[in-house]
Amino acid sequence: MTTDPIQQARQQSVGDIPRRTATRVPDKLALVDGEVRMTFAELERAVSRTTAALQAHGLAKGDRLALLSHNSWQFVVLSYATARAGVVLVPVNFMLGPDEIAYILDHSKATAFVAEDSLASVAEQAIAASRGSVRVRAATGDGPDGWEDVQGWIDHAAGEATPVAVGDDDPVRLMYTSGTESRPKGAMLTSRSLMWQYVSCVIDGRMEADDVEAHALPLYHCAQLDCFLNVDVYLGATSIILPGPDPATVLRTIEAERVTKLFAPPTVWIALLRAPEFDSTDLSSLRKGYYGASAMPVEILRELQRRLPDVRLWNFYGQTEMAPLATILGPDEQLSQAGSAGRNALNVETAIVDDTDRVLPPGEVGEIVHRSPHATLGYYRDEQKTADAYRGGWFHTGDLGVMDDAGRLSVVDRKKDMIKTGGENVASREVEEAIYTLDGVAEVAVFGVDHPTWVEAVVAVVVPKSGAGLTSDDVISHARSALAGFKTPKYVVVADALPKNPSGKILKRELRTAHAGIASGS
């Protein structure tokens, strides 16, 4: 710990949040996870003891701890304890296989690994496939032989934690992004990135201490963890932790816990609307709704406003490297500016640039870039990708967008999702919006596949609403009436479901692979 009293007095790190909130509202309900209900004082006690346990195991500032778990109260405790100890948390996607996890262990140089008991066998396989730098192993429950029980850390009573000086730009989190490369990149997030991001969320997302929020999306992803759960702890709001976005469970929880606030990607909001329990559940407590990962289809926006008239909606746009918030579309512009990602958040500056990094005027399409303290410190052990991402003094997102005269951003597409057919560019989102206006469409994903004549062909995979007898011809006919000929899908596949990751984002890369031969008939 630094002996500089000024630095000690001025520290503002992620690990300080539970203690400071506990001094304000010690007896207020902080977390609910099944039968577990913790006040802020109890959360702070668990964080403090776990921090001491980490230090007792020899984990020091700068070490990395990988965490493989579904949503749980232990996940929250560990996220704060590692930050307080200066240990870098490495959340791991629980859908990954052992070899993929082994890569993250090796690349991050993790020396500690905590796994949910049901995932401990996968964790063991990952350690066996890695280079073997993991020396501390623990499970949230009964783990394999040689694994400790995390509860022992949370109950640790053998001395207090040694204070650690955690600077604004000391990494506290290493978030591995899926990206388009064969291997994920590790984005380094610091207290500066996260704390400024929390302030942007609070102000522009109108978040308050009396919120009661259900957290159903994975905490290993910074959208749920950092735009919502950590902001709730920062404010002193109550968090209801759910294992996943099962519609029936989410709806039942809103009613039982009088939830006022919910974040979900459009795919999950659609699933809630389609759930048989929707109309029979008391959702009158819900006041704020947030979405992200992709634009909300206009028809779904209209349906949400019709069926949940008292819920105000916000669109959060960003990426992991922005911790993750970049722009927000507020409640008053949801329909008038439907599809827009809104204006740059409080602590963010956003621009559109061309391929030479020249800032473009309103109305011109280019790459979306940001300047902000939210931004990642860079990619761990990858100086070249870091330099590429920050060329010209802006963080480059890889998304294509256009700004209007009022400073509102519209995301045209990911660069990789822009379809080039017959010499024309087609934005997949524009085609999806047109198809969503067809009665009977529940979900749709549009993408391009190789075509011998057109270079790429527009393909749509459509999931009908229950009982709807949609055909491929119905979809093509409808699209042709709303779109130019070159934008109309050449191929339509009617499917039972779309592949999604645990955050609810549609996996277009899987669709491209599955339908790669559709133009050749293979």
Report pTM: 0.85
- In this predicted structure, the answer to whether residue 219 has a pLDDT above a threshold of 70 is yes
Question: At a CB cut-off of 8 Å and minimum separation 6, what does 513 contact?
Answer: none
Segment 165-180 shows an average pLDDT of 87
Q: Going by DSSP bridges, is the β-strand pair 88-92/136-140 parallel, antiparallel, or unpaired?
A: unpaired
Tell me what pLDDT residue 442 has: 93
In the DSSP assignment, the letter for residue 213 is E
d(C-alpha 416, C-alpha 519), whole Å: 19
Question: At a CB cut-off of 8 Å and minimum separation 6, what does 463 contact?
Answer: 441, 442, 443, 444, 494, 495, 496, 497, 498
Question: Picking from 221-230, 287-296, 363-372, which range would have the lowest pLDDT averaged per residue?
Answer: 287-296
Task: Report the phi/psi class of residue 357: left, alpha or beta, with left for phi > 0 and alpha for psi in -120 to 50.
Answer: left
- In this predicted structure, the answer to whether residue 82 has a pLDDT above a threshold of 80 is yes
Domains identified in the chain and CATH numbers: 40-166 (3.40.50.980), 192-415 (3.40.50.12780), 418-514 (3.30.300.30)
Tell me what pLDDT residue 416 has: 66
- In this predicted structure, the answer to whether residue 76 has a pLDDT above a threshold of 80 is yes
Q: pLDDT tens, 340-356?
A: 999 999 999 999 999 89
Tell me what pLDDT residue 126 has: 96
d(C-alpha 259, C-alpha 237), whole Å: 11
Q: pLDDT tens, 378-415?
A: 999 999 999 999 999 999 998 889 999 999 999 887 66
- In this predicted structure, the answer to whether residue 206 has a pLDDT above a threshold of 60 is yes
